[in-house]
Structure 1
Amino acid sequence: MSSLRFLCDEEIEDVFGESSGDNDSNFGYDNTELVLNEDEDLDYLLSDDTDRSDSDENQSQNEEYEENNNEIADPLFISKDGRIWNSEPTSNQSGRIRSENIITLPPGVTRYAKSRIDTPKDAFLLYFPKQIEKIIIENSNAFGQAKYGLQHIEIDSNLLYAYIGVLILAGVYRSNNETTDELFDEDNGRPIFRAIMPQKTFRYLNSIIRFDNTMSRRQQSSSDKFEPIRDLFEKWNNLLPNFYNPYESVTVDEQLLGFRGKCPFRQYMPSKPAKYGLKFWMLVCSKTYYVWRIQPYLGKPIGALTSERNQGQRVVLDLVDGLKGHNVTIDNFFSSHELGQILFAKGLTMVGTMRKNKRSIPPKLLECRKLPLYTSTFAFTENTVLVSYVGRKNKCTILQSTFHDSNDVGCGPKKLPAIIDYL
């Protein structure tokens, strides 16, 4: 699965009949605005002369019709978990915004952030407040004193900011392949690094920077692989929603941050450009790519015999906590009918690809052999749409949406369903 994209390469190829290319550093998402058609209001004709007996009779007839309908339901539209789907839409919103897609938070930079930012430094300090600075200084000094004694160089705010400045500049100059000696070299290095601090001081700070109380942690046994940075990371992660509210569409996906150092939860993903690194689950604004919440992937817990069950569902529910009225775009690792219903009950909708082994998919949507190219087969429940789209011969891609409620298909040569066109 590519980094921070809605569809994996194979699915894109199935849908469009061509390769999408590799672009793991970007989300590659074009946000589609919801177009309102105010002229198409749904008018209900209510008769004032209808008495209660007629109403009861109609209700009785409706119940009998539904019961008969269930008895004669097409077996191809009954999924393995017993869910009955319809071949035609069961609801009509007529261009109106659903209550589940009315966002309660005004999108963009929050008032809290606007009132505190006058300079670029102010913006940086929002994400690096005094509480985080204090954790680093106290724990680093404690470790340095325990290791070097009287030779320890005391870290204060100015020295810490100078150290961070060197790291940021190294990124600006794309110096990830340069050694420390090359960065501070008097002949070939950049003078700005030597002007900030001596190389010896930089190496020393590298050796003692700590984010927790190392001495007490070594005396305790813990199964948390993330413990050395857990406290600081959680405080920083909780800051992210305070400064920005996402637009109506958000995305949940994975991101591999390249890293080849020693780490108990380092991942090897050959499909990624970096191949080795630390994997994070992220929820981002699909329009601006702002990371609204982030969670590390730590692999199997220490001592665990099996992997976590329903991990994708758990990750999505953790990351969307605090959102209401948004549409969540996900890929087939996370997507399931159960997750769609849970999100819908929370006032959120979702759009995502589905793995074909899901028990909620009716057999009709899995029949793609001998179907003409660019054929779409739909299945509906009260609040969910499934579509099977034949993008290549004898191959289909299945998508689920609680955001859409129709079987609209584009008029282009490939007749893309509205669900795919949204992505």
Structure 2
Amino acid sequence: MSQLTDFAHSYPLLSLIRSRDEDGWTEHSETVDGNDSPSNGTDSSQPRVRGSSPLSTEASESSEEDEDTFSFETEAIETRASKKRKTISSPKGTQKKGQKKARPPSSPLWLSSPAKSRRNAHAATPLIIGSERRWKTEDEPDQEPKLFPFEPARTPGPQLDTSKNYTVLELFQLFFSNDVVDTLCSNTNKNAKRRHEQGFKPVSVEEMYNYLSIVIYMGLLNVHTVSDYWVPNRLYGIPFCRTVMTMTRFRAITYSLHMSDPAEDEENDKKKGTADYDRLMRIKPLKDQILDACRAFYHPFQNLSIDERMVHSKARHSLKQYIKSKPYRYGFKLYVLADSRNGYTCDFKVFMSKNPSASGKGESYDAVIDLLNIPHLGTGYHIYVDNYFTSTTLFRDLYKNKLGACGTIRENRVGLTGVQENSMPPRAKRGTIRWLRDGELLFTKWMDARPVIMCTTIHKAFAKEQVQRRKRLEDGTWTTEPVPAPAPIKSYNKYMGGVDLSDSLIKCYSVAQKTIKWYKTFFYHFVDVAVVNSWLMHKDMAVTKNTKPMAQKQFREKLCSQLADIALKGDVQEERDEEQKEQPSEQRVEMQGEKHGEKQDEKQGEEEEEVEVGLLCCPVPTKDPITVALCNKASEGRRQCHLCKHKTIWQCESCKVALCIIPDRNCFRIWHVKKDNDKQDSS
């Protein structure tokens, strides 16, 4: 014992524990043979724990903090002391062969090492800390949540005159109006002037609409290169693009295409590295105009979805992102608000960078709040998001603004309160449901192929809903069986796909082209959004009038034709104005002829004689080739064909009528044959 005393004196902490024993603490001691003995006059009938002495009255009144402070230190010191004691009491060689080593008396069986205790404590850390509520099963009833009445700011649907029949072009011009296209033309012409484009003819509004018709047409018909659209050989032979615009002109507009004022871009570039620098300056004018149109001409229905969208691009730019789970992994990331009913793009926001959020609640929180313009929308909407956006802070704030929310949630989401990690059994059966309610928030765990955790403010925990799941039998065949599912699961699967639906509609006939300019990628995407949104409004208008809507392919085909004919409408109007100007002079000649006693038949005879003398019905160019530049001979002076309404540079020398002369469409011959037949019938 004298050696043990010397050992204890060598460890001051052990001496401290011994000294505290005199004040009411009991020393943890044990005899060599394992028999416990009471100390300090304590009652031996008091319940005792194996390996330790009962605590005195003063010790029981001590704080738990003091016990935790010396728990690990005492265990370590006593373990060393027991090893020393064992060495003294059991010399080497005294242990018999096959006899098990006695456990050190100062190490109880249920106490683990400090390292192991720390690992177990970390593994058992609750998912959401600070709640004493327990998880409940599907057999326990849940209270009905308080749902806000659906009160939209406007009547959901297209904000158009239902009594009017809108053409395909008029619907598209809601997004690309004359003012929008005029701004686009102005900035394109300024950019061409800045780049000193030699021989660049300024782009007009009508010509920009023609350019858009070819861009949309390229989404309908894909070829290997852009030049193949203008190849007049047997394999391709695509006449549409050749009749609208030459390839040289199309490429010239593409190269100079610009959405912002180049002078403002130069001023903005000087601010790089400062807080005033706008990274979206080159797309801002058109982006803002498209967003204003998306919000103004359509009001969404009750169920909305918010998700990420990737605009595919491999341009070298700091805004480009990488998302592994998306079909296009590289591109520009957009936060999109879409109507779950039809996929209409109601609003979107371009992801800038991972800077500190303005609200201090995270980038995903700010994205949802920015997209939900509550005064513009109204109240009572149901928002569906994925686990990137879901948080209790967001859902509570939306609930305060009378908006419901539902979405999957991550287990490690910061700020959760009330959910324990051990809510689901280790090997739960498929369809097992656990739920927990924390005020307006409802957390549900559902075992499918793997556990799915949901958070919602608009559903009950379990409404006896079922889903069909495939199951493999013992003989190798597959069958389906009903599996119980929480109410949030079915609603989430039904309404979360609004953005995905919009992406699929855009992808079917996307007008995107390869380009080295990152802002042109956004230009093509804005065209896609405008076309899809205008088609969705056409469908709703058709349902309102009880008519059959066009498919998207048919809608785009008609839109291409009407955009290509915009410039031709101006030519037809000019021809009509010229005819109206010529008509009064002819009437004056007839009146003068009547005064002089001349007959109208004599005048027609004189005109026929003039035709027989000098003019024949043969095709000639609408403009003199000598006065036209060599590069513009194929397009200069084009007029609308009298029969097919396409553009042509040919006309009849005698009749002065514009007519097509191509292998697929010889309108010149058809028109004169019909004219001769009419003369024979009249005679």
Q: Tell me the TM-score normalized by structure 2.
A: 0.46
Q: 1:282 aligns with which of 322, 327, 336?
A: 336
Q: Give the conservation status (yes or no) of the 8 Å contact 1:101–1:347.
A: no
SS state at 1:415 partner: strand
**Which residue is equivalent to 2:346?**
292
Structure of higher CA gyration radius: 2
- The answer to whether 1:387 aligns with 2:444 is yes
Q: Give the conservation status (yes or no) of the 8 Å contact 1:91–1:382.
A: no
CA distance in 1 between partners of 2:253 and 2:463 (Å)? 60
- Name the amino acid aligned to 1:360: L
- Superposed CA deviations along residues 313-360 of structure 1, whole A, max 9, x for unmatched, are 111111111322110010000001111111111111011000001241
Alignment of 1:191-230 (within 5 A): 191-219=239-267, 220-222=270-272, 223-230=277-284
**Which residue is equivalent to 2:483?**
414
Q: Give the conservation status (yes or no) of the 8 Å contact 1:355–1:398.
A: yes
Which one has more relative contact order, counting CA pairs under 8 Å at least 6 apart?
A: 1
The 1:180/1:287 distance shift into structure 2, 3 A limit, reads same
- Superposed CA deviations along residues 276-301 of structure 1, whole A, max 9, x for unmatched, are 33221111111111111111123346
**Which residue is equivalent to 1:24?**
none
The answer to which structure has the higher helix fraction is 2
- Superposed CA deviations along residues 231-258 of structure 1, whole A, max 9, x for unmatched, are 2201211221211121211100011222
- The answer to whether 1:362 aligns with 2:418 is yes
- Superposed CA deviations along residues 365-404 of structure 1, whole A, max 9, x for unmatched, are 5533233332111111332211011223xx4211011111
Q: Give the conservation status (yes or no) of the 8 Å contact 1:132–1:232.
A: yes
**Which residue is equivalent to 1:53?**
none
Query: Which stretches in structure 2 are left out of the alignment for 5+ residues?
Result: 1-123, 468-481, 493-683
| Pairwise CA distance, 1:260 | 3.4
Q: 1:180 aligns with which of 223, 226, 233?
A: 226
Q: 1:378 aligns with which of 435, 438, 442?
A: 435
Q: 2:169 aligns with which of 102, 105, 121?
A: 121
- When structure 1 is superposed on structure 2, of 113-122 and 398-407 the one drifting more is 113-122
The 1:292/1:362 distance shift into structure 2, 3 A limit, reads same
- Name the amino acid aligned to 1:182: D
SS state at 1:372 partner: coil
| Pairwise CA distance, 1:102 | 4.4
**Which residue is equivalent to 1:3?**
none
**Which residue is equivalent to 1:148?**
196
- Name the amino acid aligned to 2:409: M
SS state at 1:299 partner: coil
Q: 1:232 aligns with which of 271, 286, 299?
A: 286
- Name the amino acid aligned to 1:238: D
- When structure 1 is superposed on structure 2, of 225-234 and 155-164 the one drifting more is 225-234
- The answer to whether 1:317 aligns with 2:389 is no
- Name the amino acid aligned to 2:229: L
**Which residue is equivalent to 1:342?**
397
The 1:103/1:216 distance shift into structure 2, 3 A limit, reads closer
Q: Give the conservation status (yes or no) of the 8 Å contact 2:461–2:488.
A: no
SS state at 1:151 partner: coil
CA distance in 2 between partners of 1:235 and 1:85 (Å)? 50
Q: Give the conservation status (yes or no) of the 8 Å contact 1:366–1:388.
A: no
Q: Give the conservation status (yes or no) of the 8 Å contact 1:329–1:352.
A: yes
- Name the amino acid aligned to 2:246: P
**Which residue is equivalent to 1:9?**
none
- Name the amino acid aligned to 2:259: F
Alignment of 1:38-77 (within 5 A): none
- When structure 1 is superposed on structure 2, of 134-143 and 335-344 the one drifting more is 134-143
SS state at 2:444 partner: strand
CA distance in 2 between partners of 1:261 and 1:182 (Å)? 25
SS state at 2:484 partner: coil
CA distance in 1 between partners of 2:133 and 2:284 (Å)? 45
Q: 1:272 aligns with which of 326, 330, 351?
A: 326
- When structure 1 is superposed on structure 2, of 324-333 and 251-260 the one drifting more is 251-260
| Pairwise CA distance, 1:85 | 4.7
Q: Give the conservation status (yes or no) of the 8 Å contact 1:89–1:381.
A: no
SS state at 1:404 partner: coil
- Name the amino acid aligned to 1:155: V
CA distance in 2 between partners of 1:411 and 1:158 (Å)? 56
Q: Give the conservation status (yes or no) of the 8 Å contact 1:387–1:400.
A: yes
The 1:92/1:274 distance shift into structure 2, 3 A limit, reads closer
CA distance in 1 between partners of 2:437 and 2:170 (Å)? 50
CA distance in 2 between partners of 1:125 and 1:152 (Å)? 26
CA distance in 2 between partners of 1:201 and 1:366 (Å)? 68
SS state at 2:367 partner: helix
CA distance in 1 between partners of 2:128 and 2:461 (Å)? 24
Q: Give the conservation status (yes or no) of the 8 Å contact 1:389–1:398.
A: yes
**Which residue is equivalent to 1:19?**
none
| Pairwise CA distance, 1:191 | 1.2
Q: 1:135 aligns with which of 169, 177, 183?
A: 183
Q: Tell me the TM-score normalized by structure 1.
A: 0.72
Percent identity of the aligned residues? 20
CA distance in 2 between partners of 1:268 and 1:178 (Å)? 27
- The answer to whether 1:330 aligns with 2:380 is no
- Name the amino acid aligned to 2:432: T
Q: 2:451 aligns with which of 391, 396, 413?
A: 396
The 1:149/1:279 distance shift into structure 2, 3 A limit, reads closer
- Name the amino acid aligned to 2:287: F
- When structure 1 is superposed on structure 2, of 380-389 and 348-357 the one drifting more is 380-389
CA distance in 1 between partners of 2:257 and 2:434 (Å)? 57
- When structure 1 is superposed on structure 2, of 403-412 and 197-206 the one drifting more is 403-412
Alignment of 1:1-20 (within 5 A): none
- When structure 1 is superposed on structure 2, of 400-409 and 358-367 the one drifting more is 358-367
- Superposed CA deviations along residues 180-237 of structure 1, whole A, max 9, x for unmatched, are 2112212125111111111110110011111111233223324432210112201211
SS state at 2:195 partner: helix
The 1:163/1:154 distance shift into structure 2, 3 A limit, reads same
Alignment of 1:99-114 (within 5 A): 99-110=148-159, 112=160, 114=162
- Name the amino acid aligned to 2:271: S
Alignment of 1:247-258 (within 5 A): 247-258=301-312
Q: Give the conservation status (yes or no) of the 8 Å contact 2:187–2:261.
A: yes
CA distance in 1 between partners of 2:128 and 2:329 (Å)? 38
- Name the amino acid aligned to 2:158: V
- Name the amino acid aligned to 2:416: S
The 1:270/1:364 distance shift into structure 2, 3 A limit, reads closer
| Pairwise CA distance, 1:130 | 2.9
The 1:90/1:271 distance shift into structure 2, 3 A limit, reads closer
Q: 2:211 aligns with which of 163, 168, 188?
A: 163
CA distance in 1 between partners of 2:144 and 2:325 (Å)? 42
